[in-house]
Structure 1
Amino acid sequence: MAAWEDRNAASICDRGGMVGKTTRVAKDGISKASNPFCGYVVVEAETIEAAARLFQHHPHITVFPGDGIDIMPLLT
């Protein structure tokens, strides 16, 4: 992970981290929920495609073969 972070340091705004299990709050109460989201990193890029290219060699893809990384823009 350190090597990936070093290569992309100029684009990383927030190193993020892992997240725990999901709890959902709705008008009818609080319950456990399923969510595949397991962590996040915030990067800055000109386009979403450029952001995606930063993750092509991210260690997550090697550690969890067959899994992927979803790229989502922050809307401001």
Structure 2
Amino acid sequence: MGKFLAILHGGADPDKDQLTDEQQSEFMTAWATWAQAHEEALLDPGSPLYRKKRVTSTYVEDFEDSKIAYALVDAPSHDAAAQMFKDHPHVGLHDGNSIEVIECPVIPS
């Protein structure tokens, strides 16, 4: 088994694609259903990503990008981890939404 980090990217135009309260509630219910279906694999169900800072050796700055949430899962392979997110409600919420699934290998000691 291995650890995989899922980064959820939003593709929505924030000015056009606001959800109604009912749509938001339906989405959260769908997300909870997805999480329950993958409960054994979820190491961290994640959370939204808000204020962001970029740090370099010479400065710290605020920045924005399309990353809006994360999750951490345990899976037997990279492909298995990716398949886990194929039916995640996030990918169908707005055109352009996507999920990156990144392997987090064990660092040898």
* Alignment TM-score, normalising by the size of structure 1: 0.87
Confirm whether residue 17 of structure 1 aligns to residue 69 of structure 2.
no
**2:70 aligned residue:** 40
Give 1 or 2 for the bigger CA radius of gyration.
Answer: 2
Report the AA paired with residue 64 of structure 1: H
**Aligned equivalent of 1:68:** 98
Deviations 1:14-65 (A, max 9, x none): 1110111321111221112233221111111111110000001101012123
* Structure (1 or 2) with the greater strand fraction: 2
* Aligned-residue identity in percent: 24
Q: Does structure 1 residue 8 correspond to structure 2 residue 28? A: no
Find the counterpart in structure 2 of residue 28 from structure 1.
58
Letter matched to residue 73 of structure 1:
E
Larger RCO: 1 or 2 (CA < 8 Å, sep 6+):
2
CA root-mean-square deviation? 1.3
Give the aligned residue type for 2:65.
N
